[in-house]
Amino acid sequence: MKTVGVFDSGVGGLSVLRALLAELPGVRLVYLADSAHAPYGERSAGKVVERSGRLTAWLRATHRIDALVIACNTATALAIDGLRTTHPDLPIVGVEPALKPAVAVSRTRAIGVLATRGTLQSERFARLRRQVESTASSPVHFFGQPCDGLADAIERHDPPALRQLCHRHVQALLLQAGGDIDTVVLGCTHYPFAEDLLKEALGPRVTLIDTGVAVARRTRDVLDLPHSSRATGAPPLLFSTGDPDALTQAALRWLGLPCLAQRSRA
């Protein structure tokens, strides 16, 4: 049985784990939340690179993984190139804001991107944006909104703070674009867990785009696995560098997984 390691700064990557569970029922999944150092989006690039290296080394040494999924937009933006150089024998799949899929569905060609400050300020995001803009069939405009505090509020499961932050960041985004936005990219794996509040703030005419399913399919492809018709597979192994009870409760709340998380010293 193949083993895939998945890491995120905290519980947000559970949105990617959900897609992996559906797409890869025959694969052993090991999820590592770096909750002791979350959120990555508000940390220095050097810290994110250092933590990403430690988490990858721990997953390889402890679980002998066959592939790695970086279920964090900030870590992908800042650390994936270095990890691929350090681990050339390990297939590594990252997550990036789904700009190209958003262009495909947008009618107004005005697209919002809700993401962490670290993601929006990264050179990797700038390259992706330039590439999509240069290949689009007609001019497209991206409006990036850094969502300071949102990932942390999701980590803490703080509903009042979540509602306030969702409305604050959405209003700032709409103000940038003058109200023309019809599509919004969720550029952080935490944000799908605030989807209802974001839809409430954006209104019914705005389409939300995230990347979980695309990442899961890409992981299946790099492992060269056939599509499985089985609905479910073995439960994942959950680890946290912080409070494992918080990860256990998040997995139960959002994924319906009755799995007990364990503490990791990664």
Interstrand relation of 141-146 and 92-93 (parallel, antiparallel or unpaired): unpaired
Residues with catalytic function: 72, 188
